[in-house]
Amino acid sequence: MNPAIIKVKINQTEFELQGNASLEDAARVYGATPPFAAAVNTEFVPKSDYKEKRLQSGDEIELISPITGG
């Protein structure tokens, strides 16, 4: 049985993911490359929790890469 499809927003763009998707899955679909920080519904998620953080339809994810330079 296939899990339902959920719709989430990643950096303001809507994506469809499998219903059991984790934050790590979402980052992969988005194409994020480390290093980056992540928040789900404005709550910071530690990198160590990306695999365990399950997403729900309607979640808003922000993936933020550091800016270098000076």
What domains sit in the chain, N to C, each tagged with a CATH number?
A: 5-64 (3.10.20.30)
pLDDT of residue 67: 84
Instruction: Indicate whether 43 pLDDT > 70.
Output: yes
Instruction: Indicate whether 49 pLDDT > 80.
Output: yes
Instruction: Indicate whether 1 pLDDT > 50.
Output: no
What is the DSSP annotation of 25-58? HHHHHHT--SS-EEEETTEEE-GGGTTT-B--TT
Other CB atoms within 10 Å distance of the CB of residue 23: 24
From CA 67, how far away is CA 65, in angstroms rounded?
6
Averaged pLDDT for residues 41-45: 98
Calculate what percentage of the chain has a pLDDT beyond 70: 94
Q: Which two tokens stand for residue 24?
A: 């790590």
Averaged pLDDT for residues 20-44: 97
